[in-house]
Amino acid sequence: MQELTRSEMEPILFAHGMAELKFDVEETMQTVAAEPHYEIAYLDLAVDGWDAVVEMYRRLLAGNRTRDFQVKVRVDTAGKNTLMQEAYVSFKNLKGERVTAIYLSVVEFDPVQRKLLGERMYGDAAWGELWRENLGADFAEVPGVSRLSDNMP
């Protein structure tokens, strides 16, 4: 299996993050592989396939517009076709109060397509609440979304 170096993965992730910061779903998806797989551990959700991931970003990015994010990275490291980042993230909740959460994301890359294959995301209760609010109560019913715990070994 082909392996990307950290210096090859970082620009891909940078482009992905910049598209997210512009709240641009189409540009964000240009950095994602054809058959993505995302895991949102704090919501017990797996998101599989192009259409489901587009819907995830559509909801997530729309909800992030008023959050005023500030990030302080704690750990930034690389593995085989993966980058991992742990950070404190401060944002405004729906009441307009600034809260700080902790998240960790393992980003996996497809070395042939040179795009994000997916992310495995972990976080505390405050981070989970932000995602729950943004994705909405019906997100688990979107085709391609399933319970993460139903597919664990």
pLDDT of residue 37: 98
Mean pLDDT, to the nearest integer, of 10-23? 95
SS (H, E, C) the chain: CCCCCHHHHHHHHHHHHHHHHCCCHHHHHCCECCCCEEEEHHHCEEEECHHHHHHHHHHHHHHHCCCCCEEEEEEEEEECCEEEEEEEEEEECCCCCEEEEEEEEEEEEECCCCEEEEEEEEECHHHHHHHHHHHCCCHHHCCCEEEHHHHCC
pLDDT of residue 78: 97
pLDDT band at 16 (very low <50, low <70, confident <90, very high): very high
pLDDT band at 11 (very low <50, low <70, confident <90, very high): very high
Examine the pLDDT at 152 and tell me if it is beyond 90. Answer: no
Q: What is the pTM assigned to this prediction?
A: 0.94
Q: For 47-95, what is each residue's pLDDT tens digit?
A: 999 999 999 999 999 999 999 999 999 999 999 999 999 999 999 999 9
Percent of the chain residues topping a pLDDT of 70? 99
